[in-house]
Amino acid sequence: MLESTMKTVLTDCRRIVVKVGSSLVTNQGAGLDLDALDNWARQIAALNASGHEVLLVSSGAIAEGMQRLGWRTRPTSIHDLQAAAAVGQMGLVQAYESCFRKHDLHAAQVLLTHDDLADRERYLNARTTLTTLLALRVIPIINENDTVVTDEIKFGDNDTLGALVTNLIDADALVILTDQSGLYTADPRKDPHAALVSSAQAGDAQLESMAGGAGSAIGRGGMLTKILAAKRAAHSGAHTAIASGHETDVLLRLFRGEPIGTLLTAPALPLAARKQWLAGHLQVVGQLVLDEGAIRALRSDGKSLLPIGVKQVLGEFQRGAVVACISEQGEDIARGLVNYNSEEARCIAGHASQQIVTLLGYGGDDEIIHRDNLVLL
């Protein structure tokens, strides 16, 4: 069944985002593994020659910087991490360019922060840059811009970054390569009865309960980040494959339809481009706590969010900001662009729309968030 699914899903994918983790590009954190980079370049070049467009999200900059600086353990200070990334990016990009030139291809370095994708204009500029590079048959090497990242703007792991890039350029598939064979029903290192999940639908809540915790001392991601990345990539209709990067020619075999690892398929209908952008916001400036009636109206009826359904307004924000809609238990429900600033929202929260003029002293929109500017999570 899985082989049939992969043949009908992955073999039809033209634009692909491939994410490789630190364990697959470094010598256990001791600098870059040049043989491994050669291997990835060879496979990506072969896919490129067969008509695929491939973008590579690669870890390894901080690990390479640590090696060059003589550091044996990953630093915790944000400034030390920035310094290691700045040093390591030099080696990472030089190595990839050298590897791809063996196949008559050029590589390009693209560093992103959350701010680049949260701002609509910069988001569109990043999209145009990447699609132009692909049209020129250049392989974009994408990484988080750790040299300037702060706790407020960091993606936190390259699995999430891979998913956001997948949405950004409307890729058909996201491939997350790791040092594990895929998603298991339990941690196979602890449970001998754990079974590999061959295929499932991205966003299935059961997948998150199966996923494990933290990753290695060198990398930041665990299996949970990969499951959440697949859920995010599905917003634009992209399927996700999670597989071991130690499998021989894993990329070539995946796109021939071989059943390797875990395939998480996307629902049939992707989100509209504007809603993909909204869903991609990792940090928000405020939160609206909704009652059960409002949650039902959003989820079941596709309604706009009215003031009467808002129980509490958290944070300070201006009209047009992206805010999170959450339940009283803290569950993420939606993201949306607000029609009122935080002071106005607090004033009208819990009241009927007809009372807005009386409460504020002036008229406004009936909705706190219109359904066209809201995306369910």
Conformational region of residue 167, where left means phi above 0, alpha means psi within -120 to 50, and beta covers everything else: alpha
Token pair, residue 215, equals 């990753």
Q: Supply the pTM of this predicted model.
A: 0.75
For residue 356, what pLDDT is reported?
93
For residue 297, what pLDDT is reported?
93
Pairing of strands 239-244, 262-265: antiparallel
Q: DSSP E strands: which ranges in the chain?
A: 15-20, 53-58, 106-112, 138-144, 173-178, 199-201, 239-244, 262-265, 286-290, 310-315, 322-326, 332-337, 374-376
For residue 121, what pLDDT is reported?
79
For residue 252, what pLDDT is reported?
96
For residue 26, what pLDDT is reported?
87
Domains of the chain: 2-274 (3.40.1160.10), 284-376 (2.30.130.10)
**Count of CB atoms within 10 A of residue 357's CB?**
11
For residue 192, what pLDDT is reported?
84
C-alpha closest to that of 225 among 157, 321, 162, 279: 157
C-alpha closest to that of 17 among 59, 61, 53, 60: 53
Q: Which amino acid is present at 305?
A: L
For residue 283, what pLDDT is reported?
72
DSSP summary character for residue 236: G
> Do residues 307 and 352 touch, judged by C-beta distance below 8 A?
yes
Burial class (CB in 10 A: 0-12, 13-18, 19+), 251: buried
Average confidence (pLDDT) per 10 residues, the chain, 377 residues: 57 93 82 93 97 94 89 86 89 94 96 81 87 95 78 70 91 93 84 88 83 46 84 89 95 94 83 70 85 93 93 92 92 90 94 93 88 85
